[in-house]
């Protein structure tokens, strides 16, 4: 059986101060209702394996199915290789995946069942070791209101 074809789509990851959309290119697989994300977005409010549907040709989208994955963006003035040397194995031991690695940032995909406290403990340690760094969840808070999305609540109740 052949592997599903990977496609690249543009989705809106945010807006410039002048209102112009910022697009993020993402690898995905076409599924019945939309696209399953094959990688973690760095900026868009979705996660690896979420199923999204494009709602227009500009790149607006809605998440149809949450995979249970959290996406965390980590940025630093330090060389990212140094951060990863110290913390990548710790995240991978939990089943998390590191991607989008560049000189100054990377993303972490971690299933919500790992627990926010566990993830945030490791990130706090990383900030102590690399103080000119910051991290943010990309799919936990509403981008307009800043309120938690709470999509994980029903998943954690099932466990």
Q: What pLDDT, in 10s, does the model give residues 43-100?
A: 999 999 999 999 999 999 999 999 999 999 999 999 999 999 999 999 999 999 999 9
pLDDT at 105: 95
Query: What are the residues facing 74 on neighbouring strands?
Result: 106, 135
Contact present, 42 and 24 (Cβ < 8 Å): yes
25-48 average pLDDT score:
95
Confidence of residue 159 (pLDDT cuts 50, 70, 90): low
Alpha helices in 13-158 (DSSP H): 80-93, 116-129, 153-157
Scored b (16 or more CB within 10 A) or e, 19-55 reads eeeebbebebeeeeebbbbebbbbbbbbbbbbbbebe
Confidence of residue 4 (pLDDT cuts 50, 70, 90): confident
9-28 average pLDDT score:
94
Domains and CATH numbers, the chain: 6-65 (no CATH), 69-137 (3.30.70.600)
Confidence of residue 156 (pLDDT cuts 50, 70, 90): confident
pLDDT at 12: 94
């Amino acid at each position: 059986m052949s592997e599903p074809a990977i496609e690249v789509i543009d989705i809106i990851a945010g807006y410039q101060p002048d209102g112009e959309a910022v697009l993020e290119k993402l690898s995905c697989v076409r599924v019945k209702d939309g696209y399953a994300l094959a990688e973690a977005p760095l900026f868009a409010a979705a996660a690896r394996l979420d199923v999204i549907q494009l709602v227009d040709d500009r790149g607006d989208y809605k998440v149809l199915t949450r995979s249970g994955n959290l996406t965390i963006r980590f940025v630093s003035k330090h060389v990212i290789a140094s951060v990863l040397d110290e913390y990548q194995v710790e995240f991978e031991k939990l089943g998390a995946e590191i991607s989008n690695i560049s000189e100054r940032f990377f993303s972490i995909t971690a299933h919500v069942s790992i627990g926010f406290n566990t993830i945030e403990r490791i990130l706090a340690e990383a900030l102590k070791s690399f103080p000119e760094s910051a991290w943010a969840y990309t799919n936990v808070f509403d981008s307009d209101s800043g309120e938690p999305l709470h999509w994980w609540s029903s998943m954690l109740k099932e466990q």
